[in-house]
Amino acid sequence: MAFHASLYYDKSIQGTTSGQTIVFDQVVTNLGGGYNGTTGVFTAPVAGTYVFSLTFFMVYQTTKSSRGEVRIMQINGHGLRVFRELDTNIDEGTATGTTVLSLNKGDQVHVITYTTNMFIVGNGLSYFSGFMLG
């Protein structure tokens, strides 16, 4: 089981709301069929230990400090905070994070925004991936 998906070449997400699922719609790899590129949700096809990784590229869009935070979250479960702090001297930045989750068959994982008004850049610069440990 493995997947890798990014924000499509001509797609960026602007003006996020807190709790919004980020849909990485350019599915590059989806061995086992667990990732849904329409909903942005990974559903564990079998129970096991899974590794998830996230990278997002954020652009500064206000006149004061801007914090962008996203989370890899097990729906109704645990998660990992990944954030990037930007200010008026730095107008863009990348953040990345990796987490390991023990999932039962059917458990779901997605990436959600935690802060509002983020501008997340597509063009393959923001991506979400995961795989099951042997």
Query: Confidence band (pLDDT; 50, 70, 90) for 47?
Result: very high
47 vs 94 pLDDT, higher one:
47
CA distance 66 to 64: 6
What class has domain 2-132?
mainly beta
pLDDT, tens digit, 9 for 90 and up, residues 62-108:
544 455 666 777 776 766 666 555 555 556 777 788 888 999 999 99
Question: Which sequence spans correspond to the domains of the chain?
Answer: 2-132
The arithmetic mean of pLDDT across residues 9-38, rounded, is 85
- Show the tokens assigned to 126: 């923001």
β-strand pairing of 2-6 with 127-132: antiparallel
Q: Tell me the C-alpha to C-alpha distance, in Å, between residue 116 and each of 7, 58, 81, 119.
A: 18, 12, 15, 9
CA distance 56 to 39: 18
Which pLDDT belongs to residue 9?
Answer: 65
Which pLDDT belongs to residue 7?
Answer: 86
Question: Distance of alpha carbon 58 from its chain centroid, rounded?
Answer: 12
Q: Tell me the C-alpha to C-alpha distance, in Å, between residue 85 and each of 4, 54, 105, 113, 121.
A: 25, 16, 36, 14, 15
Which pLDDT belongs to residue 28?
Answer: 95
Q: How many residues does the chain have?
A: 134
CA neighbor of 59 nearest in space, from 90, 19, 92:
92
Which pLDDT belongs to residue 65?
Answer: 46
Which pLDDT belongs to residue 107?
Answer: 93
- Does position 10 have pLDDT exceeding 80, yes or no? no
41 vs 125 pLDDT, higher one:
41
